[in-house]
Amino acid sequence: MSGTHITITMPKDTYWPRRFRRHLVLAAAAFAIVCLAYAATPPSDVRHRMSLATAYAGLFLLAVSLWLGPWNVLRRRPNPTSFDLRRDVGIWTGILAIVHNGDRLDGPSLWKDVDVLFPSAASTSSAKYAIRFRQFYRACGCATLPDALSHL
């Protein structure tokens, strides 16, 4: 065994076009799932229906990305820690999570949640601290914390 190496490389001329096509398919699938979930939710307001639709689509794609590993094992295929399909599905899961939380980044519902979580910030004696907290909170983009806690 004198230093023989086996390296598998993908041809660069087909890798990126294939990956781009996969992202287009995943984007279309995510859009279709969002549309189906939007149509399936009872009509109230558009923001609520859109929030539920993106949440369900994101959860579905998260389940798909978690299922890819066991699926490879059941098919007796190699199961690497990270591979492109799982990564790409995870990217679209993250995009849907950002869209799901996007309306909370600068809406009145965000500050209602913050006032519920931190009631002392809503009192008049600490109003200047509440304003500073909200500015810091908005600058950091930490809008997902109240959203996550409100669903518990």
Both 79 and 23 in a single domain? yes
Q: What is the pTM of this model?
A: 0.63
Domain count, the chain: 2
Residues near 52 by Cβ (< 8 Å), separated by ≥ 6?
37, 38, 41
> Is residue 94 located within the same domain as residue 56?
yes
Q: What is the pLDDT of residues 77-130, one digit of tens each?
A: 888 877 889 999 999 999 999 888 876 665 555 555 555 555 554 455 555 555
The two tokens of residue 7 are 């390296």
Domain that holds residue 127: 106-152
Task: Determine, yes or no, domain membership for 127.
Answer: yes
